[in-house]
Amino acid sequence: MAKTGTTTQGLRAAIERSGYYPALVAEAVEAAVGGEPVASYLVHQETTFDSNEVRRHVTVLVLTDTRFIVSHTDEQNADTSSPSPYATTSTESVKLDRISSVVVSRVVANPEKYVPGTLPREVVLTIGWGAVSRIDLEPAACGDPNCEADHGYTGNSTADDLSLRVSEAGDGPDTVRQTLAFAQALSEATAATAAAGR
């Protein structure tokens, strides 16, 4: 379930509607937001299957006038380190001028019949700010098939701090719409911040 909106009260209500440890999640998010007004938010709860266990987690994204805040809460079963089930909540606050990329990948069915404004079947929102990078390397080669020289390596470095996937089938059309709305608000905010910094 994902919810998006623009008020602090709406954010709290969306967290409560998610039903996923709302007091814990709300306290962490509200502490990170502080007194800043909320420009946009997205609350996304997801259930995953890990071996024989079902795990739930929630991600809350908040946009203020100056920051992007991401909060993630996971639940864990009792284990050797804890005799009872527990949850872990983390929040990160990122200044808007640090956002280096906002990538929106859309999956559409029957692209030859696509009508502008039709919701994608699936959306993946990837946001990068330099905290986590992925490097993909492979051996470099030249065009000579008989060459045995070592040409070193070639590769790509990709910012991949947060990736959130929603689908119409799994999350519903409102969630897809809300994810696109949050992505647009974040893109516009980072563009405005970049223009103001010039």
146 or 3: whose pLDDT is higher? 146
Mean of pLDDT over the chain: 86
pLDDT at 66: 95
Is the confidence at residue 52, as pLDDT, over 80? no
Q: What is the pLDDT of residues 20-49, one digit of tens each?
A: 999 999 999 999 999 899 999 999 988 777
Q: What is the pLDDT of residues 13-22, one digit of tens each?
A: 989 988 899 9
pTM of the full structure? 0.80
**pLDDT grade for 181, boundaries at 50, 70 and 90:** very high
Nearest to 1 by CA among 14, 68, 9, 11: 14
Which residues fall within 8 angstroms of residue 185, CB to CB, at 6 or more apart? 39, 40, 63
Name residue 57's amino acid: H
